[in-house]
Amino acid sequence: MINLGSSQLKYPNDSIINIQPNQKILEYCSFEDSFIYKKNMLNALNTYFKCELHTSELVITGNIGLVLRMIISSFLPPNSLLLVENPTYYNVVTLIKSIKHELNYEYLNIQKDGIDIDQLETKLLNNKNKQIYLLITPYYHNPTGYTYCDHKLDKINELSKIYPNLTIISDEIYIYHHDVKPLYIKYNNKNIISLLGFSKILFGGIRHSCIISHKDNIISNEVENSNGIISSHDHYFINEYITNFNINDELVYRKKIFDITRTICIQKIKNHLNEYLTIINEEKGYWIWCKLKNHNINTTKLVDYLQQKNIFILNGDLFFFEKQKDKYIRFSSYNDLNIFEYAIKIIKKTLDKMN
């Protein structure tokens, strides 16, 4: 299977293979191990972002999808309102639609520079008596690749102070592709919860993330003391990596490699699929978000046909809360460029037959 639906990252450094596992990956993490790991991660974050986070502001946990599921399904107060981007990460769409208990949610349209601020202000004015949670992806929004402009981020921060019932959940999994600080650190605002992780730049298969926020927002001592619901294997592996490698240099290097690879992948799409696709935001981004020029092509059938040929892409319908007239598909970059081009040629042949 050629997987163009999720990111395929090379190992960041050949010497990473030389990290030798030991029996601890088969055991529960001890409290001492967890404390050391948390301290090492805190040092790595403070060094990279040039800040002074404290242990009370950090929780280490599993993948961000799991964190969002935990927050959305279990910790939003009754009658609260969740505001989400549209389109947005397909797992969030699926989660919201599948939650058993009643969940009040509304979506905000995404623009090239972030959510529609007028739309946000209207919803805040109309819901002054509710606790409101705003879920955003400010850097390399998934799936469009848009990055919020500073003006809109400043405005969102300002609104969270005007409306004390507003909490911002900022999914910043792509932050290491930018030279910026997490929103919680940038604004020193206790109404902001920043979610970070390495899976989109270093290790695609290591399911690790961090929650950083004011200590009052750290969900509960039970979560903090549960070893962060991260596996012993991931715990051990990342701790070895951040203590034995220069993570600052590695992240800068990986960003350059990723940007080059994405640029080449986009050019190959343009070379072979320009007749069928318009690439949205080709200059910058993480994913490659494409609009089909022919509205009559059934993207569900396209995905099915390609799976029969062992090629996997994502149907753009998954990222929206309502059916769209326009049709989209989402690609990922692929580190083997020859295989990527081979897959693109098969996609073209499939579209030729469907057109």
pLDDT in tens, 3-37: 998 876 655 555 555 655 566 655 665 555 677 88
**Which contiguous run of DSSP H or E holds residue 3?**
strand 2-3
- pLDDT, one tens digit per residue, over 43-59 is 999 999 999 999 899 98
Q: Where are the alpha helices (DSSP H) in the chain?
A: 31-49, 64-70, 90-98, 117-126, 150-162, 183-187, 221-224, 232-244, 247-273, 299-308, 337-354
224 pLDDT higher than 80: no
Q: Note the CATH number of domain 2-10+249-354.
A: 3.90.1150.10
Is the CB of residue 88 less than 8 Å from the CB of residue 134? Answer: no
Distance CA 181, CA 176 (A): 9
- Look at 181 and 36; give whichever has higher pLDDT: 181
What residues does 238 pair with on adjacent strands? none
Whole-number percent of the chain with pLDDT over 70: 87
Side chain identity at residue 279, one-letter code: I
Size (the chain), residues: 355
Q: Cα separation of 170 and 157, whole Å?
A: 11
Distance between CA atoms of residues 279 and 266, nearest Å: 8
Model confidence at 223, pLDDT cuts 50, 70, 90, reads very low
The strand pair at 311-312 and 2-3 is best described as parallel
Q: What's the whole-number mean pLDDT along residues 215-225?
A: 60
Q: Which ranges in the chain are annotated with CATH 3.90.1150.10?
A: 2-10+249-354
Per CATH, which fold does 19-247 belong to? Aspartate Aminotransferase; domain 2 (3.40.640)
d(CA 25, CA 10): 23
pTM above 0.85, yes or no: yes
Let me know the angle formed at the C-alpha of 290 by 85 and 201, rounded to the nearest 5 degrees.
70
**Which has the closest alpha carbon to 303: 326, 279, 328, 280?**
328
What the block records as the tokens of 66 is 């799991």
Residue 79 backbone zone (phi > 0: left; psi -120 to 50: alpha; other: beta): left
Tokens of 145: 């690749």
> For residues 60-90, b (16+ Cβ closer than 10 Å) or e, as one string?
bbbbbbebbbbbbeeebeeebbbbbbbbbbb
Least confident among 99-103, 186-190, 267-271: 99-103
Per 3-state DSSP, the chain is made up of helix, strand and coil in percentages (nearest 5) of 45, 15, 35
Q: What's the confidence (pLDDT) of residue 221?
A: 41
More confident residue, 333 or 289: 289
Q: Which residue has the higher pLDDT, 251 or 136?
A: 136
Rounded to whole angstroms, how far apart are CA atoms 144 and 279?
10
Q: Residue 297: beta bridge partners? A: none
Q: Where in the chain is the domain with CATH 3.40.640.10?
A: 19-247
> Looking at the predicted structure, is the pLDDT value of residue 343 above 70?
yes
| Closest-CA residue to 49 (of 207, 142, 172, 215) | 172
- Six token digits for residue 307: 């799976």
Query: Worst-scoring range by mean pLDDT, 34-48, 56-70, 287-301?
Result: 56-70
